[in-house]
Structure 1
Amino acid sequence: MTFKNFIKKVHLWLGLSSGLIVIILGITGCLYAFEEELRPIVHDYYYVDQVKSQKLPISRLLEIAQEKNKKINPNQILSGCRTISDDKRTVIIWFFEELDKDAVWYWNRYQSTYFYMDPYTGNIEEIEDYNFEFFVFIRMLHQTLCLNSTIGDPIVGTATIIFIISLITGLVLWWPKNKQAAKQRFWFRWKNTTQWKRKNYDLHNIMGFYMMIFALILALTGLVWAFECYDKGVQWLFNGGKTYEREKIVSDTSQYNQNNPADKIYAATKQLEPNAKSYYLFLPKADDSLAVFQTFVRYENRFNDVSMQFDRYTAKPLKITTYDDKNNGEKFRFINYDLHVGSILGFPGKVLAFFASLVCASLPVTGFLIWWGRNNKKKKTPSKEKTVK
């Protein structure tokens, strides 16, 4: 067997073994690429009916949501809230409860409820079962095939590694022997008489070639969520072989105060970062007296995002972390999601990620049709020769 024939075999069987999962990942990647833009369009409860002059305090909105959720989900814990600078947007408050960490499906592992509230009146516009929201379902199908992460991550990660090898072996097979052959592999040269098998072959080879770099970026950044060792290894590499321990910030229990510091912390966060796109408040667990109150400030440009930690009892700022404060490994990890979905280049980057995902989903299909066509050729029946007597 020649080297090229060996590569063909490897490319074929790896493609067939991972094809179905790659199709699922590609299609869900397409759907999720514009998640941020589509959510406000498909969910009318993201907006209030009327903008007024005065908003209710965050603490009051939290109280209203807690009172309501105790009646429908008494075991869920208040986890956080998000406010958006757009005055027309509702405030989002969410609750969380771990059900069964060993469950097979992700929706049986935990339960989360999201409240969308009018910040002016306190009216609850929508109570959303987070696990079955459309884009959440698409993301979980993309990330773990809707399985428990301990099961789904290795499956998706392994299929992704196989896909990476398939891309490399595909490039080896695509590589032309000479300039004349190269002309046929850089663009479509279809005619009216071109058969569908040739068109399918060109779609597989030419589109695969042009999208290879982007497909590799999608695959390599996706592996960060699949394998913890890969995630740590990439950060270790960017840190030049160094491992950094995270500094643990704790609250001062001697300064215990029963008053809810949410309003004070929210005001302090907005004062420090007045031009942010949205503000996240992550509430500490009630049974962890040392846990701090954390906020996250989101901008249009991710490099401007800021995370803050406050003392849960005094609302005193304990640590403020900007992008520049992170080590190189943390910087890469911070922008990994934006690289994966293309948002690091703005809307054009998302469009590019969309088409790259679409091509990734098509490669197993066109590849299978090539293999099927070659193994199911119609045998030509030999013409009967007339015998001369």
Structure 2
Amino acid sequence: MVEGASRDARSRQARKAWRKLWLDIHLYIGLVAGAMLVVIGVTGSILVFWHEVDAWLDPQLRIVAARPGGARDFAPLETIEKAMVSATPQNGRVTHVWLPRDERSSYLFYYDLDGDTRRFGLDPYDATKTADRLYYSKQSPFRHALMGFLFQLHWSLLLSDLIDDGGDVVGVAAILLMVSIVSGLYLWWPTPGKWVSALTLKRGAKAERLNYDLHKLGGVYSAAVLLAVLMSGIYMNLRAPFVWIVDHVAPLTDGGSLEHKSEPAVGRAPIGFPSAVAAAMARSPDGRVERVDFPQDEQGVFTVYQDDLPGVSRFIRSRSLLVDRYSAAISRIEDVAHGTAGDAFLRWQWPLHSGQAFGMTGRLMVMASGLLCPLLFVTGLIRWLQKRRARRAHAQAG
């Protein structure tokens, strides 16, 4: 009898020590990385709708007057390409283009020039330049356009302006924040019969209890989305180790290599982006071309991104096609329906991060989870201060 009671006492003590360990982990990660979560979450919420916000901020660059025929009156891509060449400065190198999203949107070309990233718009109807703007400057974060500033702040906290591996810091912070969320769920997990109270606000609660409930419920209801967004952020910021792990769990095609090369030129002239688009559309005629990435060097490939593509997946309707810059052959198709299970897992990451995986519902969920980050940090900080004051008062009374 005494031995059983002793075992129970040791078991309770062990559980208490284990809970305190997880409470300390949750607390200190929250205090150290919580402020980062606020910045990353709020900027991410804005960037979920970055096209819409960008067009609102700079309509001269991105908005054009619609014609009666809509997209049917768009100029041929060959005309757009000629205008692109004329609009690009002599030393500039075009990196990618966003195609019009609707009948009132411009083509948006990004190009590198003297270490800066700039962009210009072309009217899809007559191929005239709408505007030319600085987007991102390596010389100073305060020379970025607002949208460029937000993207840099989101993925690297502007550390990429100071060090080459600035994004790695955010990747490590994302790992710690995932641990914090999991520890928070462990600490919250209710005993049988307590689920209703654990998932609701206590009515008529005092300020201290209300703060605790807000922190608890904000974390519980946003946990699944935040974990998915943080994991995909780790993939994008710490890609090499992330891919290495996935490849060892579920082997990837070519080991997940990003290196894709065109065939040797052998006397052939490189194709232009209209030919790359035509090749992609011939292979996947039902999709809408959203963006085209240009080859980075003589052996590079075009990457054509399609959206609104039926038949790929129930939740993800996007696909990218790699096009040889000399033969216009499709060298690879990348979507969740092609490749290994590991490939599919990796291709879920960006749609999950951006919310595109579930359409408007997914985008709103990602936006809401990001806006909850300040609530989690502030209520957690208040909770810690409340406990610290209580401990000091107890010590003084003793």
Class of the TM-score when normalised by the shorter of the 2 chains: 0.7 to 0.9
What aligned pairs does 1:88-127 form with structure 2 within 5 A after superposition? 88-97=104-113, 99=115, 111-127=116-132
- The one of 158, 163, 183 aligned to 1:146: 158
The 5-angstrom pairing of residues 1-389 of structure 1 reads: 2-44=17-59, 45-51=61-67, 55-70=74-89, 74-84=90-100, 86-97=102-113, 99=115, 111-131=116-136, 132-148=144-160, 150-177=164-191, 179=193, 182-191=195-204, 194-237=205-248, 239-240=250-251, 244=255, 248-257=260-269, 261-284=272-295, 288=298, 290-292=299-301, 294-301=302-309, 302-312=316-326, 315-323=327-335, 324-376=337-389
Higher relative contact order (CA 8 A, sep 6+): 1
What SS class does the counterpart of residue 309 from structure 1 fall into? Answer: strand
**Structure 1's 278 and 166: CA in aligned 2 closer, same or farther, altered over 3 A?**
same
Q: What letter corresponds to residue 339 of structure 2 in structure 1?
A: K
Q: Cα distance 1:237–1:363, how it changes in 2: closer, same or farther (>3 A)?
A: farther
In 1, the alpha carbon distance for the partners of 2:307 and 2:188 equals: 42
Residues 261-313 of structure 1 show CA distances to partners (whole Å, capped at 9, x for unaligned) of: 4444444444444443225344335x62x444x1414122544524141343x
Q: Distance in 1 between matches of 2:282 and 2:76?
A: 15
Quick one: distance in 2 between partners of 1:27 and 1:43? 21
Counterpart amino acid of residue 112 in structure 1: T
| Unpaired stretches in structure 2, ≥5 consecutive residues | 1-15, 137-143, 310-315
- Alignment partner of 1:94: what SS? strand
Local SS of the residue matching 1:211: helix
Specify the alignment match of 2:10 in structure 1.
none
Q: 1:62 touches 1:93 (CA, 8 Å); kept in 2?
A: no
Percent identity over the alignment?
19
Aligned amino acid, residue 157 of structure 1 = G
Could you tell me how far 1:59 is from its partner in structure 2? 4.2
Cα distance in 1, alignment partners of residues 179 and 230 from structure 2: 11
CA positional deviation for 1:139: 2.3
Amino acid at match of 1:164: M
TM-score (norm 2): 0.78
Instruction: Tell me how far 1:233 sits from its aligned partner.
Output: 2.9
Distance in 1 (alpha carbons) for counterparts of 2:99 and 2:189: 52
Deviations 1:304-353 (A, max 9, x none): 524141343xx542525252333333322222111122221111111112
CA RMSD of aligned residues (A): 3.1
Asked if the contact 2:355–2:362 (Cα under 8 Å) also holds between the matched residues in 1, the reply is yes
User: Quick check: 2:156–2:170 contact (8 Å CA) kept in 1?
Assistant: yes
Tell whether the 8 Å contact from 2:74 to 2:125 is kept in structure 1 after alignment. yes
1:342 maps to a residue whose letter is G
Unaligned runs of 5+ in 1: 100-110, 381-389
For 2:252 and 2:85, locate their aligned partners in 1 and report how far apart those are by CA, in whole Å: 46
Question: For the structure 1 residues 280 and 213, does the alpha-carbon distance in structure 2 shift closer, same or farther, using more than 3 Å as the test?
Answer: closer
Q: Structure 1's 241 and 362: CA in aligned 2 closer, same or farther, altered over 3 A? A: same
Equivalent pairs, count: 357
- CA–CA distance in structure 1, aligned partners of residues 354 and 19 of structure 2: 34
Change (3 A) 1:85 1:269: farther
- Cα 1:239/1:197, change in 2 over 3 Å: same
**Residue type of the partner of 1:152?**
G
Deviations 1:229-284 (A, max 9, x none): 332134314534886375854344333348x6444444444444444322534433
Structure 2 Cα separation of the partners of residues 249 and 28 of structure 1? 35
2:382 partner amino acid: L
Q: Secondary structure at the match of 2:159?
A: coil
Q: Where does residue 106 of structure 1 map in the other structure?
A: none
After superposition, the Cα gap between the structure-2 partners of 1:270 and 1:341, relative to the gap in structure 1 and judged at 3 Å, is closer
- What is the match of residue 383 of structure 1? none
Aligned-partner Cα distance in 1 for 2:289–2:209:
51
1:84, 1:91 within 8 Å by CA — same for their partners in 2?
yes
How much has 1:130 moved relative to structure 2?
A: 2.1
Q: 1:174 to 1:277 in 2, by over 3 A?
A: same
Aligned in 2, Cα 1:135/1:331: closer, same or farther, shift over 3 Å? farther
Q: Distance in 1 between matches of 2:118 and 2:64?
A: 19
Shift of 1:366: 0.6
Does the Cα contact within 8 Å between 1:29 and 1:354 map onto a contact in 2? yes
Aligned-partner Cα distance in 1 for 2:226–2:274: 45
TM-score (norm 1): 0.79
Distance 1:216 1:67, change over 3 A: same
Structure whose alpha-carbon radius of gyration is higher: 1
* Residues 252 and 340 in structure 2, CA contact (< 8 A), matched pair in contact too: no
